[in-house]
Amino acid sequence: MIPSKVVLLAELGFSYFRFTRELNLKLPEGSSVFFQPDIHRNVVTGMLSWYPFKKEKFFLRAGLGYCVRQKYFVRVTSPTGLLLGGVEIASEDFGQVDLDIKWSNLMPYAGIGFGKPIPKKKLGVNFNIGCFYMGSPKINAGFQGFLESTTLDSQIALIEKNVRNYSYFPMLSVSLRYRLN
């Protein structure tokens, strides 16, 4: 049943995410690895919701997101050094590893949802689930210490190939809608 009146709803949005909590991972033989993440994600979105059935609450949503700020960085060090399987690496020899991942700033979006375009009462709630396509990630890595003398830099292209399927960012949202009249 196709409605006589097409219902389209346009929305603008903004999301903010930040994570900088440090983690000290204790290893079995008394050594530890210290992770210092610096993760920021600020996204501006523009969405269009289409209600294909006149009296139903189901809708399809498509849109575009733009990363105003994206930073996925982690620094790995070992303040105690490492003791793994009888091999000992001193803290100053371990050095540090810096990893940085970047996806495309422009991200198309597709999803489905449930809720009325205009609430019957003053306040309404809508639910939406979908995902952004972020493109293939680009990885930058920097090594200081014993890893600097390895061939890990030559493996970055292989790692990028292996993580290219991690290009989708799922999103679950709840919207509150207020009717003005």
User: How do residues 71-107 score in pLDDT, each as one tens digit?
Assistant: 999 999 988 888 777 788 888 888 888 999 999 999 9
pLDDT at 19 over 90: yes
d(CA 119, CA 53): 16
Of 135, 131, 121, nearest to 173 by C-alpha is: 131
Q: What is the mean pLDDT of residues 123-140?
A: 93
Q: Which residues contact 152 (CB under 8 A, 6 or more apart)?
A: 141, 143
Segments of 21-153 assigned E as strands: 23-26, 32-51, 58-77, 82-84, 87-89, 96-102, 106-114, 123-133, 138-144
CATH number at residue 131: 2.40.160
Residue 67 included in any domain = yes
Please say if the pLDDT value at position 130 is more than 70: yes
User: In angstroms, rounded to a whole number, what is the distance separating the alpha carbons of residues 62 and 46?
Assistant: 9
Q: Is residue 164 part of a domain?
A: yes
The answer to whether position 1 is within a domain reads no
Residue 43 pLDDT more than 90?
Answer: yes
Q: Which amino acid is it at 2?
A: I
Q: Could you tell me which residue, 132 or 31, shows the higher pLDDT?
A: 132
Range 28-37 average pLDDT: 88
**102 vs 67: CA distance, rounded Å:** 11
Domain annotation covers residue 88: yes
Higher pLDDT, 35 or 143: 35
Q: Is the pLDDT reported for residue 40 higher than 90? A: yes
Residue type, 31: S
- Name the nearest CA neighbour of 122 among 173, 177, 57: 177
Classify residue 138: in a domain, yes or no.
yes
Task: Indicate the helix (H) or strand (E) that contains 7.
Answer: strand 7-19
**Does the residue 30 lie in any domain?**
yes
| pLDDT average, residue stretch 52-68 | 91
Domain count, the chain: 1
Residue 69 lies in a domain: yes
Q: Of 38, 13, 40, nearest to 171 (Cα)?
A: 13
Asked if residue 136 has pLDDT above 70, the reply is: yes
Asked, for residue 33, whether it belongs to a domain, the answer is yes
Q: Domain of 11? A: 7-178
**What does the alpha-carbon distance between residue 50 and residue 65 come to, in Å, rounded to a whole number?**
18
